Amino acid sequence: MSASEPSSLPHGPLTISAVHLCIDMQQMFAEQTAWHVPWMKRVVPTILQIARAFPARTVFTRFIPPMRAEEARGVWQQYYRRWDQFTGERLPSHLLELLPELLELVPPAQVVDKHFYSPFAEPQLHRILQDRGIDSLVISGGETDVCALAAVLDAVDLGYRVVLASDALCSVSDESHNNLLQLFSNRFQQQIEVASSRVILEAWS
């Protein structure tokens, strides 16, 4: 444990009302594509440690692009014209899948597909969590400054307690990753807790 790392979660332990929400750990980000996240695989062992501790309380999301750019809404059409190799008609379907070591946990872990940065843009995720009585989220995955960021802010707006697993998040930008973790720690202290997986697992009964 580093000198700056807290020894416990600031707002107390986690309980059965918590879920591990793992964002977009998919083959298209792990393999050598234009969306490759170079150090994604470095955080896989840590994500696995959390998911294996609570497989039935883990929800994996998958980012699913439209079949073609014209099917997207608004400025997403412009986005997918730029990244047309990731539309459904061109992207090999296996690249949409979770990494194999994570897929092995499904079930009991769940998978929720999404078509936008935030998984909460898909109403079924919030409904699933509410039906299970979930009020706290441990968030891992990637990218820290894109889809994970969108998930965190939407979760806060919906009233969830958010705990970020600092060593289980990844990005293509070390600078953005580090700056965001610092921002969350300093500006959102009442709603977002940033801690290592060790601290999180010790606090989760």
Would you say residue 141 lies in a domain?
Answer: yes
- The pLDDT tens digits for 155-192 are 999 999 999 999 999 999 999 999 999 999 999 999 99
Closest CA to 190 of 157, 152, 149, 161: 161
Q: What is the mean pLDDT of residues 132-146?
A: 97
pLDDT at 135 over 90: yes
Residue 103, SS3 per DSSP: helix
Would you say residue 111 lies in a domain?
Answer: yes
Would you say residue 162 lies in a domain?
Answer: yes
For residues 63 and 122, give the distance between their C-alpha atoms in angstroms, rounded to a whole number.
11
Q: What's the pTM value of the predicted model, to 2 decimals? A: 0.94
Would you say residue 2 lies in a domain?
Answer: no
Q: What is the mean pLDDT of residues 67-83?
A: 97
For the chain, how many structural domains are there in total? 1
Tell me the Cα Rg of the chain. 16
Domain span at residue 111?
A: 18-203
Would you say residue 116 lies in a domain?
Answer: yes
CATH of the domain at 118: 3.40.50.850
Would you say residue 62 lies in a domain?
Answer: yes
For residues 82 and 17, give the distance between their C-alpha atoms in angstroms, rounded to a whole number.
41
- The pLDDT tens digits for 2-25 are 445 666 899 999 999 999 999 999
Question: What was the pLDDT predicted at 72?
Answer: 96
Would you say residue 157 lies in a domain?
Answer: yes
Residue 37, SS3 per DSSP: coil
- The pLDDT tens digits for 81-120 are 999 999 999 999 999 999 999 999 999 999 999 999 999 9
Question: What was the pLDDT predicted at 6?
Answer: 62
Q: What is the mean pLDDT of residues 128-135?
A: 97
